[in-house]
Chain A
Amino acid sequence: MSVIALARSKRRFTYWRVLRALYRLLLLLLVAAGSIIFIMPFAWMVSTSFKSSDEVLRFPPVWIPQTLHFENYTIPWHRLPFPTYYKNTLIVVIFNLIGTVLSSSIVAYGFARLRFRGRSWLFLLVLSTMMLPSQVTLVPTYYLFAKLGWVNSLRPLIIPVYFGSAFNIFLLRQFFMTISTELDDAAKIDGCGFFSIYWRIILPLARPALGVIAIFQFTYDWNDFFNALIYLNSPKNFTIALGLRTLQSTMLYTPMQHIMAMTLVAILPVLLVFVIAQRYFIQGIVITGIKG
């Protein structure tokens, strides 16, 4: 009796495993197929960056160049002071990562967890700052920064971040509100104040969300061309995004393959950071309901 039962359950077990393996394989194929659409621009950039000037202009485009033209990387690299651009961008990015994680999280904690008069109206005000196109506030903002003597320094790109950005505040508020209040209550009974609840409970639990805002901020600052263009004048202050744009400017004729090569070099750090960071904030635990 027990042997039969065992055999039966064993057989069922094998079916189950085959089914599961099939499901995994199907999912993997689906994900791989979908990813092709998503990596196309990147693949195209890589391919273009190695082409000869003749191949770049061919239409419809060729994907694999006949010979790899590595000089597409070395020539433009020496035309402009890229190491300086990297240094400036790094300064902005590092300061802003610290700034945004600290300031946005404390503001978000206030909006998500603490009750005070006018909270919902003030929160709407936070959101409304994102609804007015920046083009129309550009002139007065520039005037303000000029009066403060910040123009042509990295300060306009860094200091405002220390007062929290609306996007990150909203994002963190949403995450903080999903954390159960039971822990807060327990901490309160143990004599924790509001600040230690924020520091010891909310921040550690919201690590995935903090990782996301760090990645978003990093990507944004690294690619931010608009603010850099407006506030930085002298080339010694230029960031990567602005350096790339200089390369594309009409005064300094640069062929397409050089632009693509430098764009790749420019975004490589962002990719690296993403690859490393995503390990930390998104572990491979399967917790969705669709698990087999």
Chain B
Amino acid sequence: MASPFWVRQNVSVAGASTAAQAIGAARKRPRALSMRAREEIAGYLCIMPWLIGFLIFTAGAMLFSLGLVFFKTDLLTGFKWVGLGNIRKMATDPLFHKSLGVTSYYSFATVPLSLAIGLLIALGLNQNLFAQGLWRTLYYLPSVTSGIAVAMLWMWIFHPDVGLLNQALRLIGIQGPRWLYSEQWAIPAFIIMGTWGAGGNMLLYLAGLQSIPTHLYEAARIDGAGSIRCFFSITLPMLSPTIFFNLVMGIIGSFQVFTQALVMTQGGPNNATLTIMLYLYRKGFEQFQFGYASAIAWALFCIILLLTLLVFRSSALWVYYEGEVRK
């Protein structure tokens, strides 16, 4: 995929710069590198910090865990080669299949919801409001408060009898479900919690909105475009790279959902909240089957990678980059 893309670029650039080259050819050609080659070198130099860091800190650890997939081991007493045994076991493990379903359900609901809600809040907070800074801080609060306080608060909110949510529902005449104690409603409760953390998304959208050059709106106004037209023709396209980021990070993050399941429900009731990460954690750190845990981790890796690739493939259709270097 990379090489035809590259070749095409090279040709067009060469074509465009022939005139310039012809002029300076006689004097400069033997010594100076072409613009193109210099760009190439600059590119590698720029990403060098990451590349070095990756090779030192990350690559080895990733390869090690990939290697573990083919062993049965607790990492202490020894390694036993099992070939594809762990993968075969995974294919017939009903709990693993259950965790796949649970996690996908959570992700496919939480990601679009928090994308939309984060955007809505950001649009609201980007208006000229009284005490704007205050509102922004309040909406970002959930992203700062973490850990035990949040978990405990939500356990109270979702309490079937005296919980805040069901009390509010009773006010409008609805008998609320048993939330975290109900096989059917435990994951929806998680989805509500996940969506509530949309403050991080909001912050990014706000920054994205700030980066849209105002002259675009001025030009559109002069051409007679109304507010709605401006939103769909300027705001949304210019914001699409940020939406794209939140989408990809949402997929990566939500498929690794873990803490709520561990702290609030311990995977129950009846494994209704057994997420992939929780299952991995149990296999690895409670039952010390690190080979099998690695296999689960790499299965998760493949799922996330596949979805990310799909999103990247689709991005040509809906993500607009004002400054894309691709000509």
CB-CB contacts below 8 Å: B30-74 with A: 36, 38-40, 42-47, 49-54, 56-58, 60-62, 64-65, 68
Q: How far is the CA of A259 from the CA of B148 in the complex (A)?
A: 9
Q: Is the CB of A289 within 8 A of B217?
A: yes
Task: Specify which chain A residues have a CB less than 8 angstroms from the CB of B43 in the assembled complex.
Answer: 110, 114-116, 119
Q: Any chain B CB within 8 A of the CB of A286? A: yes
Cβ of B162 within 8 Å of any chain A Cβ, yes or no, is yes
Bound Cα distance from A121 to B1, whole angstroms: 9
Q: How far is the CA of A125 from the CA of B281 in the complex (A)?
A: 25
- Among B82-90, B104-112, B177-185, B292-300, the stretch in contact with A: B292-300
Q: In the complex, which residues of chain B have a beta carbon less than 8 angstroms from the beta carbon of A135? A: 277, 280-281, 284-285, 293, 297
What chain B residues lie within 8 Å of A267 (beta carbons)? Answer: 144-145
Query: Does A163 make an interface contact (CB < 8 A)?
Result: yes
Given A208-B211, A278-B136, residue A289 in contact with residue B230 (CB < 8 A): yes
**Is A136's CB under 8 angstroms from B323's CB?**
no
User: Complex Cα distance A37/B69, Å?
Assistant: 44
With a CB–CB cut-off of 8 A, which chain A residues contact B268? Answer: none
Contact with A along B223-234 (1 / 0, CB 8 A): 000011111101
Q: Does B269 have its Cβ within 8 Å of any Cβ on chain A? A: no
Cβ contacts under 8 Å, A259 to chain B: 148
Query: Looking across the interface, which residue of chain B has its beta carbon closest to that of A292?
Result: B227
Tell yes or no: B78 within 8 A of A by CB.
no
Q: A136-B293, A141-B61, A163-B53 are in contact. Are A31 and B200 (CB under 8 A)?
A: no
Tell whether A178 pairs with B322 under 8 Å between CB atoms, given A28-B129, A38-B139.
yes
Q: Known: A38-B139, A133-B256. Is A178-B301 also a contact (CB below 8 A)?
A: no
Specify which of B207, B235, B244, B325 lies most central, judged by the most chain A CB atoms within 10 Å of its CB.
B207
Q: Is the CB of A31 within 8 A of B129?
A: yes
- Interface assignment of B77: CB less than 8 Å from any CB of chain A: no
Query: A24 touches which one: B129, B290, B298, B308 (CB < 8 A)?
Result: B129
Cβ–Cβ < 8 Å partners of A125 in chain B = 54
* Complex: A140 Cα to B59 Cα, angstroms: 10
Which chain B residues numbered 270 to 326 have a C-beta less than 8 Å away from chain A?
Answer: 277, 280-281, 284-285, 290, 293-294, 297-298, 300-301, 304-305, 308-309, 312, 321-325
Number of contacting residues on B, CB 8 A? Answer: 117
- Please tell me if A179 contacts chain B, counting CB pairs below 8 Å: yes
Determine chain B's interface SS by DSSP, over half rule.
helix
Contact B61 A283 (CB under 8 A): no
| Contact status A178-B162, CB under 8 Å | no
Contact of B52 among A121, A163, A205, A209 (CB under 8 A): A163
Q: Is the CB of A287 within 8 A of B207?
A: no
Contact assessment for A275 and B137 in the assembled complex, using a CB-CB cutoff below 8 Å: yes
Give A233-273 interface residues, CB cut-off 8 Å to B.
Answer: 244, 248, 259-260, 263, 267, 270-271
Tell me whether chain A's interface is mostly helix, strand or loop, or mixed: helix
Known contacts being A39-B138, A283-B210, is A212 close to B203, with CB within 8 Å? Answer: yes
Q: B136 near A162 (CB under 8 angstroms)?
A: no
Q: Which residues of A contact B91 (CB under 8 A)?
A: none
Question: Which stretch (B21-29, B94-102, B117-125) binds chain A?
Answer: B117-125
Q: A131-B308, A144-B60 are in contact. List 14 more A-B contacts (CB 8 A).
A: A35-B135, A114-B325, A115-B40, A116-B40, A131-B301, A136-B284, A136-B290, A163-B56, A181-B324, A194-B39, A194-B42, A248-B148, A267-B145, A284-B132
Query: A interface vs B, CB < 8 Å?
Result: 24, 27-28, 30-32, 34-35, 37-42, 44-45, 59-61, 103, 106-107, 109-122, 124-133, 135-137, 139-141, 144, 160, 162-164, 167, 169-171, 174-181, 184, 193-195, 198, 205-206, 208-209, 211-212, 215-216, 219, 223, 225, 244, 248, 259-260, 263, 267, 270-271, 274-275, 278-279, 281-292
Nearest 7 A-B pairs (CB), nearest first?
A: A163-B53, A110-B46, A289-B230, A116-B43, A114-B43, A289-B231, A137-B61
